[in-house]
Amino acid sequence: MLTKRIIPCLDVKEGRVVKGTQFLSLRDAGDPVELARYYDEQGADELVFLDISASHEGRKTMLDVVEQVAASISIPFTVGGGINTNENIRNILQAGADKVSLNTAALIRPEFIEEAARFFGSQCIVVAIDAKYDSITDTWKVYTHGGRKETDWTAEAWAKEAVQLGAGELLVTSMDKDGEKSGFDVALLQKLTNCVNVPIIASGGAGEAIHFVDVFQEAAVDAALAASIFHYKETTIRAVKRVLKEKGVHVR
């Protein structure tokens, strides 16, 4: 059987990991390559790099980072952030990434998913969905531009549409849970796993090992992503996997 995947996420700005990380053992806690190697050794199943560079220079630097990461680790990794053309995707994949994650550009022009999937194959096209609960309509609404702009899409409708267009995987972030450390948004994830048949990565809300157990046991997600709890060593990937094993969740 497939194992459930644990994925640390690294925010990279102008070639440096930001949002702070706490790795006293590393020479340079802001070095994406060193962190990637550390997480690979810790047993991470995959990595996600989110490029939050605002400048063109920063984006070019990201390609160097991708190349160095590809040379240093032996697990798959995804790169997201500001990708809006097939040319961008080609550059990132050629630099050695395994998948790209599309977000705002796909919502602005949904055909982009189709073009990307047809050209590179669905297996490397991840669509990232940032969703927030709307109590008036009792649905989750999809947001773009790093959560700053609301769209007309419900998470359910957009997930179906993205998969229909060729997304091979969905990375679903709950904006309500993000940073709260109170557990993943099980209700949202249940809803989405019930309406599409591609792998789903749960994101937003991880605070401790038991939250990973809960999300895997209660929603049919395939992977769970977290950032700060790993970066700040509140827990380690090894520790999370130990708890998952104890609770009967299949991990590597």
Catalytic positions are 11, 130
Q: Minimum distance between the CB of residue 3 and other proteins, rounded to whole angstroms? A: 5
Per CB under 8 A, 154 contacts other proteins: no
Please report whether residue 40 would count as binding other proteins according to CB under 8 A: yes
The answer to the question of residue 51 lying near other proteins (CB under 8 A) is no
Distances (CA, A) of 84 to 33, 67, 101, 104, 173: 25, 20, 10, 8, 20
Asked if residue 34 lies in contact with residue 21, where contact means CB atoms within 8 angstroms, the answer is no
Minimum CB distance to other proteins smaller for 122 or for 151: 122
Strand partners, 154: 141
Q: Which of the stretches 101-109, 115-123, 147-155, 210-218 binds other proteins when contact is defined by CB under 8 A?
A: 115-123
Q: What part of residues 118-137 is at the interface with other proteins (CB under 8 A)?
A: 120-124
Q: How far is the CB of 93 from other proteins (least distance, A)?
A: 7
By CB atoms closer than 10 A (0-12, 13-18, 19+), residue 248 is: exposed
Q: Which of 238, 201, 240 has its CA nearest to residue 220?
A: 201
Which of 3, 42, 144, 154 is close enough to bind other proteins by CB under 8 A? 3
Q: Smaller CB distance to other proteins: residue 18 or 95?
A: 95
Task: Name, in order, each residue with C-beta under 8 angstroms of 70's C-beta and a sequence gap of 6 or more.
Answer: 77, 95, 96, 97
Mark the segment that binds other proteins (CB under 8 A) among 17-25, 94-102, 149-157, 204-212.
Answer: 94-102
Q: What is the DSSP code string of 7-76?
A: EEEEEEETTEE-S----TTSS-TT-HHHHHHHHHHHT-S-EEEEE---SHHHHHHHHHHHHHHHHH-SS-
Query: Binders of other proteins among 155-214, rule CB under 8 A?
Result: 168-169, 197-199
Q: Which is nearer to other proteins, 22 or 94 (CB)?
A: 94
Nearer to other proteins, 149 or 250 (CB): 250
With binding defined as CB under 8 A, does residue 74 bind other proteins? yes
Question: H or E stretch including 240?
Answer: helix 237-246
- Rounded CA gap, 49 and 228, in Å? 14
**Residue range at the interface with other proteins (CB under 8 A); choices 95-103, 105-113, 134-142, 182-190:** 95-103
Distance of CA 229 to the CA centre of its chain: 15
**Distance from C-alpha of 156 to C-alpha of 32, rounded to nearest angstrom:** 34
Among 34, 45, 130, 185, binds other proteins (CB under 8 A): 45
Question: Which residues contact other proteins by CB under 8 A?
Answer: 1-3, 5, 40, 45, 70-71, 74-76, 93-96, 98, 120-124, 168-169, 197-199, 222-223, 252
